[in-house]
Structure 1
Amino acid sequence: MSLSPWRRLGLVAAALGLLVPTPAASASPDPASASLPQVVGPLPGTVPGDRLADRIEDTYPFFSTPADLAASGYVEEEFHVSGTADGWAVDGTKVATGVPYTTRIIVRRPVHARDFNGTTLVEWQNVTAGYDLDALWNTESVVRAGYAWVGVSAQRVGVDQLRGWSPARYGGLDVTGGGRFTADELSYDIFTQAGRAVTKALGGLRTRTLLAIGASQSAARMTVLYDRVLPQQQPVFDGYSFIVGTAPTRAGAEPVFQVLSETDVRTAQRPADTDRFRRWEVAGAAHSGHEGQVYRAPISERDLGGAPQYDCDRPPFSRIPMHHVTAASYDHLRRWVERGTPPPTARPLEFEPDGVTKKRDALGLALGGIRLSQVSAPRALNTGDNTGVTFCRLFGTHVPFDAETVARLYPNRGDYLHRVVTADVANVHSGYLLPADARRNLADALTTGGQR
C-alpha cells in the first residue's frame, strides 16, 4: 500500500529532523507546524512489582497492561503529543483554528522489526466509564499477528481523569484549549494528528498500513470524523474499523469495516454491504463480554482501587469470544487496504416480522449472524441481552445448561467435540475466524468441559 501524500510529508519531515521532541511544558507549537505534532518520550516509569500493595504514585502509565509483553518480544511505552488542532462541531462546522493541545498516547509494539507485520492499529480510547479504556486491546491476537497498537487520549473526560490520577505525570495535558472547548471539538484533529505522530513513537518500526479503530462511544466519535470532518482534512488513516458501535454513512475512499455484537443490532433495518463497506453481526456476543471484564478487573483494582460490581437482572457477561471475530476483521481490513481484496460478507441476525424482535431457537440462542462454535455447539445460553443497573444492558447473559440439557444435546463427548470442530472449520473457511483461534476453541473444549 503506498503512503498517502500527507503521510509521506510527515515521514520526510521526520527524516529532516523537523519533529524535534520538546518537553510537554514548553511553549505552544507554531500554528504553521500544526500538521507535525511534537512527540516527547518514551516517558519513564513502569508498574511496581507489587501492583496492589506497593503502588508508587506517578511512575507508570494509567491502565498499563499487566500482560508480560517482554516474553513476546513487545514493549509498552507512553508519549506526550503536542500541537495545534482545529475544532469541529458534530455537524462538521469548523469552530476553531490552531488551538494548542497536549495529550498522551500509549504504544505497545514489537521490539524488533522482524516481528512487526507493518500494520499499526490506532485506537480512539473509550471514555464511557469516565476514564481511558483500551477497549480493543487483546494481547493474544495483537501480539500473535505482529501488530503495533497505539491508544490515543483524545477526549476531555479521559484527560481530566488522567490529570487527577497523576498530576505529576499528566498535569500538563489539555485537550480543551484551556477550557474553551469542553465538548471535544478538538478531539477529531487530535486523533488524526496522533496518527501522523505514530512514526516518531514506534522505535524505528516502519508502518505500511495505518488503521483507525474504535469501539462503542469511540466508534461514534470516529463516525463523525469520517462522515463530516475527514472530507475537509488531508487523509491520515488507510482504513477504519468500527466495533460494537455506529459506522459512517458516507461513501469515502478509505474502506470501512463494522463488527457488531448481538447487543448492538436492534433492528432489521441495516445498510447494505458495498465495495467500501462491510458489516458483520455476531450471534450471542455482548457489547462488553466476559473476556474484557476478566482482563480489566485486576487493572481496575490496581489503578482505581477496585473493580466495578454489577447487579444485573440475569447472570451477566456473554462468553462468546467477540474478540476472535474482531481479530479476523483486522486481518481482512489490512488486506483490503493493501491488496484491494474485499472481506467476505456475512449472514445477518434474523428478526421476527416486527423488525425489532430477534428470532431465537428452542434454547434461546439468536438465529443468523456469524455463529462461532460457542453458539453452534452450545453448553450455555449466551445472548447479547440483559437488563438492570448501569451498564447491564451491554453485558449480555451467560447461563450454563443443566446436565440434562447437555446430555440431550451431546449423548457422548465425541458428539460435542465434533460439533465444535465442524463449526470452527466452517468459520475459518468463511473467513470469520483465524486458525489460531480455532485451535484455542478446541483446546478450551478439551480442557474445560465447555463452560462456553
Structure 2
Amino acid sequence: MRFSPRGLVPLVIAFGVLLPGAHAGAAAPPDRAPQLVGPLPGTVPGDRLAERVEDTYPFFSTPVDLAAAGYVEQEFHLSGTADGYAVDGTRVAAGVPYTTRVVVRRPAHARHFSGTTLVEWQNVTAGYDLDALWNAESVLRAGHAWVGVSAQRVGVDQLRGWSPARYGALDVTGGGRFTADELSYDVFTQAGRAALADRPRDGGPSSGVLLGGLRTRTLLAIGASQSAGRMTVLYDRVLPQQEPVFDGYAFVVGPAPTRVGAEPVFQVLSETDVTSPRRPADTDRFRRWEVAGGAHSGHEGQVYREPIAERDLGGAPTYACDRPPFSRVPVHHVTAAAYEHLRRWVEHGTPPPAARPLEFEADGVTKKRDALGLALGGIRLSQVAVPTALNTGDNSGETFCRLFGTHVPFDRATLDRLYPEHAGYVSRVVSADVANVRAGHLLPADAKRNLRDALAGWSR
C-alpha cells in the first residue's frame, strides 16, 4: 500500500518555539513515500499460526500482556528508496531501494491513544535488534504508541538468519553496496513518516496503516547508547539536508547533538555515562539530566529481556563481572518523566526543568561519593537518597560488565543503623520521591511503585 504524502504546511515558529502540534517539515515526494506490507501473521510460540514456519512471530516480541492493557503488537515490512550518508554527513548515494521491518505496540482503540508516538532506533550493540527503551509500564499507562525501527545492517542480517522465511527479503545495504549503515538515517526518518501518514490531512479521514488509523499529534525520536550515537549523526549532519520529520528527540545513555536546531533535544544519562565535569549547558533547545547511581544497562532491563533471550536466542547471556552487577536505580523512571517533558516542550513550548549535575573531585576524573560510596549530585531517586544498597554506575570485567554498574545490598547492621524503624525508612522514601515529583524528575505513578517497594521491606 502506498501512503499519501504528508500534507503539512510550514507552521509558524514564534520566539523560536514550535507551536502546539507543529511540524517544521513537509512530506516526502510521492515517489519517496514508504510502502508497508502487513501486519504480518504469527504471534509468540503457542499461537496456532506460529506452528507454520512461514509465519513464525516477531523477533523479540514482548511477553507483556498487551491485550489486557488494550494494546496490540504488530509487525510490518517497510520498503522504499533511501539516500545514503557517511558519518560526516556527506551524501554518498541517492534512491537506493531498501526493505526493513517495523514493530508497533499501540492502543487498540483511538479513544485510548494519547496522540504521542515514540519511534525507537533499535539498538544492535549485542548483535541483534534490542528495544532498549521499551518501557511497558510507562507507555501503557500514558497511552502512547511505540514504534521500533530496524535501521542497521547488523540487526537486519541477524533477523534474516533467525527466520529466512519471515525476514529473508529484508535489506538495508542496497544489495551489499552500503554496509556501513549509510542508508540507516533515511530509513529511520521514513519510518517516522509512515507513522505520520496516519495523521489526517486538513482534518480529513486518516489513510494510514502503520498505527491502525491512530492519529499522531506528537512524534518523538528516541535512541539509547549506540542508537543515540547514530541519531546524533542524523541530527547534526543529515537532518539539515532533509525535511524534518520528528518533533523532538530523546538521546538516552548516549551522546547528544551539538547543533542547535528547531527540534528540542533531551539527553538522559546514567552515572556510567558521565565521565567528565565538562558538559554542555542547558539552552532553550537542549536539556541534560544525569542520574546518580544509575547504570547504562541496569537491573530492570536485564530482568525483562532474560526470558525473551531464552525464547528467541536459546539462552540468556551470563557475565562474570568484577563486582556484583546491575544497579537497581530505575533510570527508566527518569526517562519516562523526560518523555513527558519533551512532549509538553513540543506541544506547548514549555521547557523542562533543569537538574543538578553529578559532582567530580578536583582531578576532573573521579566522581565525588559519600561515606556509603554513593555518587553525589545528579538526580537522586529514593533508591540513592534513602539507600538500602550500594548502587553505582561503575563496574569492570568481561564484555559488557562496565555498562552494568553495581548493586551490593547493605548488611543488616548497616540497615539498622540507617533506619532504626521501618516506618522511618518508608517516610524518608516518600519525602525523597515527593521532592523528585515536585522537581519534575519523577512521575507520580513511579513514585507510587517506589512506595510499594518500600512498604515491602528491604527489597532493594
What range describes the TM-score normalised by the shorter chain of this pair? over 0.9
Q: Which residue identity lines up with residue 4 of structure 1 in the other structure? A: H
SS in 2 for 1:331: helix
For residue 35 of structure 2, the aligned residue among 35, 38, 47 is 38
Residue 50 of structure 1 deviates from its aligned partner by 8.4
For residue 339 of structure 1, the aligned residue among 348, 355, 380 is 348
Task: Name 2:431's counterpart in structure 1.
Answer: 422
Query: Given the two structures, how large is their TM-score scaled by the length of structure 1?
Result: 0.93
- Given that 1:400 and 1:451 are in contact with CA atoms closer than 8 Å, whether structure 2 keeps it comes out as no
Counterpart CA distance in 1 for 2:459 and 2:51 is 35
SS in 2 for 1:104: strand
Q: Deviations over 1:187-243 (max 9, x none)?
A: 000000000011330001000000000000000000000000000000000000000
Q: Deviations over 1:336-387 (max 9, x none)?
A: 0000000000000000001110000000000000000000110000000000
Mapping of 1:296-315 within 5 angstroms? 296-315=305-324
Counterpart CA distance in 2 for 1:187 and 1:173 is 13
SS in 2 for 1:43: coil
For residue 139 of structure 1, the aligned residue among 136, 145, 152 is 136
- Given that 1:238 and 1:254 are in contact with CA atoms closer than 8 Å, whether structure 2 keeps it comes out as yes
Are 2:365 and 1:368 equivalent residues in the alignment? Answer: no
Structure 1 unmatched runs, 5+? 11-31
Task: Name 1:67's counterpart in structure 2.
Answer: 64
Are 2:322 and 1:295 equivalent residues in the alignment? Answer: no
Q: Deviations over 1:83-142 (max 9, x none)?
A: 000000000000000000000100000001111100000000000000000000011110
Task: Name 2:294's counterpart in structure 1.
Answer: 285
For residue 175 of structure 2, the aligned residue among 171, 174, 178 is 178
SS in 2 for 1:201: coil
Tell me the C-alpha RMSD between the 2 structures. Answer: 1.4
Mapping of 1:188-203 within 5 angstroms? 188-198=185-195, 199=198, 200-203=209-212
Identity, % of aligned positions: 80
Q: Which residue identity lines up with residue 121 of structure 1 in the other structure? A: L
Residue 4 of structure 1 deviates from its aligned partner by 2.7
Q: Aligned pair in 2 of structure 1 residues 5, 325: CA closer, same or farther (>3 Å)? A: closer
Query: Given the two structures, how large is their TM-score scaled by the length of structure 2?
Result: 0.91
Counterpart CA distance in 2 for 1:56 and 1:402 is 52
SS in 1 for 2:391: strand
Counterpart CA distance in 2 for 1:3 and 1:412 is 52
Are 2:458 and 1:450 equivalent residues in the alignment? Answer: yes
Structure 2 unmatched runs, 5+? 1-19, 199-208
Q: Which residue identity lines up with residue 324 of structure 2 in the other structure? A: P
Residue 34 of structure 1 deviates from its aligned partner by 4.6
Q: Aligned pair in 2 of structure 1 residues 302, 55: CA closer, same or farther (>3 Å)? A: farther
SS in 1 for 2:80: strand
Q: Deviations over 1:225-273 (max 9, x none)?
A: 0000000000000000000000000000000000000000000000000
- Given that 2:357 and 2:379 are in contact with CA atoms closer than 8 Å, whether structure 1 keeps it comes out as yes
Task: Name 1:215's counterpart in structure 2.
Answer: 224
Aligned structure 1 segments of 4 or more residues deviating by more than 4 angstroms: 54-58
Are 2:104 and 1:104 equivalent residues in the alignment? Answer: no
Task: Name 1:251's counterpart in structure 2.
Answer: 260
For residue 91 of structure 1, the aligned residue among 88, 91, 97 is 88
Are 2:443 and 1:434 equivalent residues in the alignment? Answer: yes
Counterpart CA distance in 2 for 1:110 and 1:298 is 24
Task: Name 1:21's counterpart in structure 2.
Answer: none
Counterpart CA distance in 1 for 2:51 and 2:131 is 21
Are 2:23 and 1:4 equivalent residues in the alignment? Answer: yes
- Given that 1:34 and 1:85 are in contact with CA atoms closer than 8 Å, whether structure 2 keeps it comes out as no
- Given that 1:335 and 1:341 are in contact with CA atoms closer than 8 Å, whether structure 2 keeps it comes out as yes
- Given that 1:384 and 1:394 are in contact with CA atoms closer than 8 Å, whether structure 2 keeps it comes out as yes
Task: Name 1:17's counterpart in structure 2.
Answer: none
Task: Name 1:152's counterpart in structure 2.
Answer: 149
Q: Which moved more, 1:409-418 or 1:394-403?
A: 409-418
Task: Name 1:29's counterpart in structure 2.
Answer: none
Task: Name 1:76's counterpart in structure 2.
Answer: 73
SS in 1 for 2:232: helix
Residue 3 of structure 1 deviates from its aligned partner by 4.3
Task: Name 2:281's counterpart in structure 1.
Answer: 272
